[in-house]
Structure 1
Amino acid sequence: MKNIYLYGANCTKAVWDDLQLILDNPENLIIEYPHEITEKAETISDIAQWAYDTYGKDLNCNCLIGHSMGGLIALELVTKFGVRCEKVILIESNLKPAEKFYRNLMTPENMAIHGAKIIPMIKGEAPFYSDELKQSLQTDFDFTDLIHNSTIEIHGIFGDRGEANYKDRISDLNLGKDIENNINFHFIQNSCHMPMVENPKALAAILRELC
């Protein structure tokens, strides 16, 4: 079955490479945002509009899977554009500003392994995202209405930051109980914000189960 992947801000589709090799599903579609779109986009709605205008009914799928900003775009496509799917999978997508526990890119060990690839990618892509879009994702944002307005099954996948027994890992997302109750949470061992890079085997196992 076809699953669609949307990456986060300052990334490229290459962040999915290791995961896709493991999943080995030729039906998967990875959406790539043109720079001319991200340079002009002021909100995630602008990118969602581009995706809908570009792909239309081809966005209908089994699972819409988004990393960080990509997860928010996935929710917009479902709630505001009527894209049909069985599940939305949010990977490290913050609906509201999270606590310090979540404010890290990779574990020190994973940074030593993958940093030489990931950091240049982020620095290289950052100039192609408008200041308005960056601001909308960094300060006083609240995308919880996308959960309130959705009837789709929603899963949230987060890295455990190497602390599998941290008791506040859900409350630190600052979502409130009503939103928490609408999300099925999963945690990836020994990873932070980039589980598809840090622990793709564990992420693939969850996605195989869900999708």
Structure 2
Amino acid sequence: MLLRHSIIIHTTDPELYLILRYMLEQAGHNVGLLPSLDMFLPDDSKTQPQRRTVLICLAMDDLLRAAILVKKLQPDIRLIGFPLDCRMMDGVQSSIFDYVVRRPFDPGNLLDFLKYGLLRNTTAPTDPSVFLDDVEINVASVRVWRGGTPISLSPLHFRILLYLARNKDRVVSRDDLIRHCWPEDANVEPRTVDIHIGKIRRSLNRHGRDVIRTVRSAGYSATQL
């Protein structure tokens, strides 16, 4: 299922912008330039299609500052990081992004992410929604509802919940979650996984019972009634 995005690129490198714009437009996406973050206007989720993506191409420190600002303005927007230096992100930093471009830059990896709306090492969506009890996880719109009530999750939390739901009634290890839900080469400790699972639980449990079971010394399992 091809997902077409409206992509705005924030960068100080005009040549890189032109290369990315050509590549992305050839793949069928709409591309625009965001010269300054002061010009960023959040989507109105009631009127805008949920395919908007921000691609930030800056040196690492500026990249992280820009990403945090964009997420504050619109927490559920898709965010791609393109570091212009060779520094590595830790697990907390990389969790801000839906996708992080790695060096050497492989355009196919980025296009795969945009095509499927998920990380490349995640199974491509075949169904528009995945259900876990009364929790609906809509893959196409990257939205979650519980009993008809919208649940606000970060992109990382969406990926974790989706992976658990697709593997329900099976114990998923912390290493599995790190491998499938975090960007490649992210330095993530097992304790970090526990923290994010706790946040997902708090968001879901406001509207129903706990659907994520902790399996001591093994990992987590999504459970049905």
Same fold (TM over 0.5): no
Which structure has the higher relative contact order (CA within 8 Å, separation 6+)? 1
Q: Which has the higher helix share?
A: 1
TM-score band w.r.t. shorter chain: 0.3 to 0.5
Larger Rg: 2
TM-score calculated relative to the size of structure 2: 0.35
TM-score calculated relative to the size of structure 1: 0.37
Q: Which has the higher strand share?
A: 2
